[in-house]
Amino acid sequence: MDITKVQTMDCLHFINGQFVPSESGRIFQNINPATEEVLGTVAEGGNQEVNYAVAAAQRALSGSWSKKTLQERSHILRRIGDLILARKDELALLESLDTGKPLSQAKAVDIERAAYNFHFYADYMIGLANEAYQQDEVAFHYTHRRPVGVVGIIKPWNLPLLLLSWKLAPCLAMGNTAVIKPSEWTPMTATVLMEICKEAGVPNGVVNLVHGFGTDSVGEAISKHPNVNAISFIGERKTGSAIMKSAADSLKKLSFELGGKNPNIIFADADLDEVIETTIQSSFINQGEVCLCGSRIYVERPIFDQFLAKFVTATNKLKVGDPIQKETDIGALISKEHYENVNNYLEIALKDGGRILTGGKRPENLEKGYYLEPTIITGLERTSKCVREEIFGPVVMVTPFDMEEEVIMQANDTHYGLSATIWTKDVKRSHRVAQSIQAGVIWVNTWFLRDLRTPFGGMKQSGIGRAGGKHSLDFFSEVSNITVKL
């Protein structure tokens, strides 16, 4: 593939099956975080574009899309997955250029998984059963599903295509239409996905995409729009709160997948080599910009020093640099603003008495781009902002513990409740601790292992609702109960 051919891309809105600029003609620049160079321009939408997109989605809902059979919709979903795989190299490159993530990770994880999300729901939707109850000789009750309607899908920048497909696939499976807003930082793969949807046979108006910003812009316009029936949002908890307020007047159905400050709990009996190998991933994959990253590491005191020595050594072997190069493990952070924000937390850590064991600075050979060495900090109290707030970068805190009850209390001492990892060979303890941790997704002796049939989501301020398997299809459908007197 000729990389230079896809190094610039201008992104337009996709409304009613056509790529269109903004009526105002406004555009903004899309910056490559690894080079700080301009990747292309992006149409900047506003109320007008959202109105057009919602109107198109409403027409398609009662028109061509509603006339497709379950089998036809499933076939289209499968075709979208196939076309994603057919354009895998191109999509992976665009994702890497847009986000700063290593190309190898985009290829192996993001694009594969994006295709699988469509393939999975193409099959899963066919097997979805409704409920039916016979009430003696009195009545027969059964449930009937229909689409929720027009769904606003608002996305973050960290796993752009993977997370968009994670919501769009079940949304389309249940016969809804969508108005999508990708993150302003990562507009490219969502734009290509619109082309793919069209080629796969998605009728005009079923998927619409409006580029732009959040507050006072496209995100808010979608959240407020009276004809948008539901919002599927992935992003920061404060944005979730703003969307909830905007959506309140029209009482929209909401699904939120929000941030996390996830504990990674390591007991002394764990297999330390396995722990280190996985903890390197759970700490620094995607520059630590994954909601599931385990940024609070708690290690039982007898192995604390040994863990730190091995963990620092393994971390120092990670190669930070040009995301396109095969050997790169850690690319660039998404933006200047985010880079400064993460660095600000490092200053806070030092002021709060923390000790940076490795990292904490820009790699010496990289002058341009938002690069930060993977960073391990110890010596922080639970009250430090670095322990309490989501940093969303390659930065982890490591803390020793003595008692099981103590580590459970520390792990739960947060307003987040997304995920947790527990490392131990003691089966009873693994269940006991797992059932005591307040998180929606809990792994024992592993991390990031997913089966798309299982429920996924956060408790406390990490989310509302669950996705995955039937859980997603429940969100994207309205269920009526029909009772027939016998």
Q: Would you please indicate which residues are annotated as catalytic (active-site) residues?
A: 257, 291
- As measured in angstroms, the least distance from the Cβ of 472 to ligand NAD is 12
- As measured in angstroms, the least distance from the Cβ of 245 to ligand NAD is 9
Q: Is 440 near ligand NAD (CB under 6 A)?
A: no
Q: Is 115 near ligand NAD (CB under 6 A)?
A: no
Q: Is 187 near ligand NAD (CB under 6 A)?
A: no
Report the C-alpha gap between 81 and 77 in whole angstroms: 6
* Residue owning tokens 């609070």: 296
Binding-site member from 69, 215, 435, 480 for ligand NAD (CB under 6 A): 215
Binding-site member from 53, 154, 164, 178 for ligand NAD (CB under 6 A): 154
Q: How far is CA 17 from CA 128, 150, 203, 209, 398, in A?
A: 29, 16, 7, 10, 50
Binding-site member from 40, 46, 205, 259 for ligand NAD (CB under 6 A): 259
Binding-site member from 208, 223, 255, 421 for ligand NAD (CB under 6 A): 223
Residue 201 or residue 455: which is nearer to ligand NAD going by CB? 455
* Longest CA–CA separation in the chain, Å: 79
Structure tokens at 288: 């630590």
- Residues 370-409 vs ligand NAD: string with x where CB under 6 A? --------------------x-x-----------------
- Residues in contact with ligand NAD, counted by CB under 6 A, come to a total of 31
Residue 387 DSSP label: H
Q: What are phi and psi of 83, to 5 degrees?
A: -70, -30
* Residue owning tokens 């009250």: 383
Instruction: Choose the stretch contacting ligand NAD; rule: CB under 6 A; options: 63-71, 111-119, 157-165, 267-275.
Output: 157-165
Binding-site member from 98, 184, 373, 474 for ligand NAD (CB under 6 A): 184
Residue 446 DSSP label: -
Q: Is 260 near ligand NAD (CB under 6 A)?
A: yes
Q: How many CB atoms lie within 10 A of CB 485?
A: 7
- Residues near 40 by Cβ (< 8 Å), separated by ≥ 6? 8, 9, 10, 11, 29, 30, 188
Report the C-alpha gap between 41 and 328 in whole angstroms: 27
Residue 74 or residue 419: which is nearer to ligand NAD going by CB? 419
- As measured in angstroms, the least distance from the Cβ of 352 to ligand NAD is 22
Instruction: Choose the stretch contacting ligand NAD; rule: CB under 6 A; options: 187-195, 210-218, 318-326, 345-353.
Output: 210-218
Residue 392 or residue 423: which is nearer to ligand NAD going by CB? 392
User: Which is nearest to 283 in space by CA: 267, 271, 300, 266?
Assistant: 266
CA distance from start to end of the chain: 66
Q: Is 224 near ligand NAD (CB under 6 A)?
A: no
Q: Is 181 near ligand NAD (CB under 6 A)?
A: yes
* Alpha helices per DSSP H over 24-159: 47-62, 64-67, 70-86, 88-99, 103-105, 112-124
Residue 52 or residue 392: which is nearer to ligand NAD going by CB? 392
Q: Which amino acid would we find at residue 482?
A: I
- Indicate the burial class of 120 (C-beta count within 10 angstroms; 0-12, 13-18, 19 or more): buried
- As measured in angstroms, the least distance from the Cβ of 462 to ligand NAD is 6
Q: What are phi and psi of 184, to 5 degrees?
A: -65, -20
What is the binding site for ligand NAD (CB under 6 A)? 154-158, 163, 181, 183-184, 213-215, 219-220, 223, 234-236, 239, 242-243, 257-260, 291, 390, 392, 418, 458, 463
